[in-house]
Structure 1
Amino acid sequence: MKKYTFTKEERLCSKRLIDDLFHNGSSFVVYPFRVVFLIKPDNPNQEFPVQVIISVPKKRFKRAVDRNYLKRLMRESYRFEKHQLYSFLKDHSLNLLLAIQYVSNEKLPLETLQSKLQQLIGKLKNEISKSNLGEGN
């Protein structure tokens, strides 16, 4: 049985890791999301292969209510789609730091965000395969 949870351990909180992610990570856009990711060497005692940070810029949405609403929808979408990414990373014994940023100027419905997040995870798996497995790791 899959557990659709999003616990504290899955969130990226460490300032050092966040700096590392944004300085050394690769990025791509699947509208309305911008994704920054960094592959880390596998840590066998870590239960969760992905640590994620979700953000909505204040520049695009001035009201905190709107930002929080969009972050809630993004977390919900991620929570239901992450198992695909987890199984892929466990098969290849990789860990990942991930930032998902909202880049649209309007609020999109949950169904749209979920379908775009599925596309995002597919593209992310493709990018990881190209960058990591292409090097012979």
Structure 2
Amino acid sequence: MSVISDNNDFSFKKNERLYHRNEIQELFKKGSSFYLYPFKVIYIADPFEAKVNPQQILISVPKRKFKKAPDRNFIKRQVREAYRQHKILIDPEKLNRNLRIAYIYTSDKKMPSDVLTKKLKKTLERLHQEFTV
């Protein structure tokens, strides 16, 4: 059995979730954004500090489009899983930035997990390109 190092850790811990009200408000006020169907992605990149959580995300599925909570939770679970598997595409230490990212699901239909994973992977690749250029 091999031991997985922290760099290859595919977990999604609480410190990776963006949940402080002030940080969320700052993200929506000062953050940059782009749209890549079915996500609107809002992000802020701060200078890298090791003591701060290097990468935090917020996942939002509007109640206006999905009235039932189980539907919203299912989509959030799909997005969280896709992010967990592909978060290594943007390594904050290599980019030398702390990232805060909000994913807003804009479609009014549920998507299969594999399609959602491909779309989320494209958003992460685009974020990586924005900070390496």
Normalised by the length of structure 2, the TM-score is: 0.90
In structure 2, C-alpha distance between the alignment counterparts of 1:15 and 1:38, rounded to whole Å: 15
Partner of 1:118, secondary structure, is helix
Q: Residue 23 in 1 paired to residue 29 in 2?
A: yes
In structure 1, C-alpha distance between the alignment counterparts of 2:50 and 2:67, rounded to whole Å: 41
How many pairs does the alignment contain? Answer: 127
Instruction: Tell me how far 1:127 sits from its aligned partner.
Output: 2.2
- Pairing 1:54-133 to 2, within 5 Å after superposition: 54-86=59-91, 89-130=92-133
Structure 2, gaps ≥5 residues long: none
Instruction: Tell me how far 1:43 sits from its aligned partner.
Output: 1.4
8 A Cα contact 2:48 2:93, kept in partner: no
Which AA in structure 2 matches 1:85?
Answer: I
Percent identity over paired residues: 39
In structure 1, C-alpha distance between the alignment counterparts of 2:127 and 2:64, rounded to whole Å: 26
In structure 2, C-alpha distance between the alignment counterparts of 1:19 and 1:27, rounded to whole Å: 14
8 A Cα contact 2:95 2:131, kept in partner: no
In structure 2, C-alpha distance between the alignment counterparts of 1:16 and 1:129, rounded to whole Å: 28
Instruction: Tell me how far 1:129 sits from its aligned partner.
Output: 3.4
In structure 2, C-alpha distance between the alignment counterparts of 1:13 and 1:105, rounded to whole Å: 25
RMSD: 1.1
Instruction: Tell me how far 1:44 sits from its aligned partner.
Output: 1.7
Equivalent in the alignment of 1:135:
none
Q: Residue 14 in 1 paired to residue 14 in 2?
A: no
Equivalent in the alignment of 1:41:
47
Which AA in structure 2 matches 1:82?
Answer: K
Instruction: Tell me how far 1:42 sits from its aligned partner.
Output: 1.4
Which AA in structure 2 matches 1:109?
Answer: P
Normalised by the length of structure 1, the TM-score is: 0.88
Equivalent in the alignment of 1:133:
none
Match of 1:50 among 49, 52, 55: 55
Cα shift readout 1:23-54 (whole Å, capped 9, x = no counterpart): 000000110111000011211223x4211001
